[in-house]
Amino acid sequence: MTLGLGIAAEQWLNTAHSPSDSAPSAQDYVVERPAEMQALVYLPESTEAILAVHLSAATEKFEPDHPDDPRKALSQLGLPGNVIDTLDRLSGVGLKNVDQLVVGMGFAKGSFPPQVVVVVHTRAAYDIAALANERDVRILKKEGRTLRAVKAGALPEVYWWSPNDRVLVATLLARDFENVPHQPVAGLGQLKPEIANLIRERVAEDAAVWLVASSDRWADHVRPYTFPWGENLGRVNFVPVTPLEGRGDLLDPAERLRSVVLSIPQSSDRPVDVQVELKTATAASELRTTFARRFAGDPIEVSGEGEICRLQTPFEPAGVGLLIGGLVRPDK
* Distance from C-alpha of 311 to C-alpha of 231, rounded to nearest angstrom: 36
Beta carbons within 8 Å of 134's beta carbon, 6+ residues apart:
18, 19
Buried b (16+ CB within 10 A) or exposed e, 194-226: ebbebbeebbbebbbbbbbbbbeebbebbbbbb
Which residues have C-beta within 8 Å of that of residue 272, sequence separation ≥ 6?
A: 262, 263, 264, 265, 312, 313, 314, 315, 319, 320, 323
pLDDT at 115 over 90: no
Element (H, E) at 325: helix 317-328
| Cα separation, 73 vs 70, whole angstroms | 5
| Closest to 49 in 3D by CA, of 107, 112, 109, 120 | 107
How confident is the model over 51-68, as pLDDT tens digits?
Answer: 999 999 999 998 888 888
First to last CA, the chain: 25
CA 110 to chain centre: 18
Q: Enumerate residues 6+ apart whose C-beta is below 8 A from 164.
A: none
CB 125, CB 163: distance < 8 Å = no
At 150-196, the pLDDT tens digits run 875 545 678 999 999 999 999 988 889 988 999 999 889 999 999 99
pLDDT digits (tens, 9 = 90+) for 17-49: 343 444 444 446 789 999 999 999 999 999 999
